[in-house]
Amino acid sequence: MAVKNFVVASFDDEAVLFPAVKKVRTAGYKIHDVYTPFPVHGLDHALGLRETSLHTAGFIYGITGTTTALSCMSWVFNSDWPLNIGGKPHFPLPAFIPITFELTVLFSAVGMVLTFCYLCQLMPFVKKHIFHPRQTDDLFVMAIEVTPKTNAEELKAFLASVGGQQINEQKAEAGWWYGRYDREDRLFEQKAGTVNA
């Protein structure tokens, strides 16, 4: 992504936030994101976000685990090194169930968490712009991108009219970069090439 201009407004109550989101969207402004300290149910729909497909990914990882376990165990017992263990069959399905189940769960959980981190760009040493330090505490922070067509002053006045507080303009990197939170990175003064997508 790139460095962009944002108009940022804070809300201190979900009850004000929801109507505000609706009004901002109806007015035709494009909400970059709303940052909340906890999952606010229904906000994703209010913002017009589609449902996540993470569950589907989890299911696919799960059946991958199932097939991996079953095929590996039967390959070992039947083809690679068939061993007579007390005269037991070479394909003892009931005895395979526990490990098959465990691997299904393991693959699904690990795969989903990695996918989650990939989709949300979460990783140690990853840094993102924080629009308001209290967006992880008690404020709901709405960031609206300022395009060449946007009248920033008008937008600020509009946000104030729908209940926004501490309205300001910020120039910020919209994506992520490698960085440390104890240092102030002024990315917009650097060359564009150092910024990751």
Under the binding rule (CB under 8 A), the answer on residue 180 touching other proteins is: yes
Span from 95-103, 144-152, 153-161, 164-172 in contact with other proteins (CB under 8 A) = 95-103
Segments of the chain assigned E as strands: 3-11, 31-35, 126-128, 140-145, 165-173, 176-178
Under the binding rule (CB under 8 A), the answer on residue 197 touching other proteins is: no
Under the binding rule (CB under 8 A), the answer on residue 3 touching other proteins is: no
- Parallel/antiparallel/unpaired status of strands 3-11 and 176-178: unpaired
Build a one-symbol-per-residue string for 57-76: x at contacts with other proteins by CB under 8 A, - elsewhere.
-x---x---------xx--x
Q: What residues between 97 and 156 interact with other proteins by CB under 8 A?
A: 98-99, 101-103, 105-106, 108-110, 112-113, 116-117, 119-130, 133-138
Under the binding rule (CB under 8 A), the answer on residue 175 touching other proteins is: no
Under the binding rule (CB under 8 A), the answer on residue 34 touching other proteins is: yes
Burial of 142 (0-12, 13-18, 19+ CB in 10 A): buried
Residue number with CB closer to other proteins (94 or 148): 94
Under the binding rule (CB under 8 A), the answer on residue 91 touching other proteins is: no
d(CA 100, CA 25): 48
Helix pair angle (54-75, 93-119), 10° resolution: 140
Q: Which of 26, 28, 38, 192 forms a contact with other proteins (CB under 8 A)?
A: 38
Q: What secondary structure does DSSP assign to 5-52, as a single string? A: EEEEEEES-HHHHHHHHHHHHHTT--EEEEE-SS--TTHHHHTTPPPP
Residue number with CB closer to other proteins (57 or 167): 57
The number of residues that bind other proteins (CB under 8 A) is: 77
Under the binding rule (CB under 8 A), the answer on residue 55 touching other proteins is: yes
d(CA 122, CA 152): 31
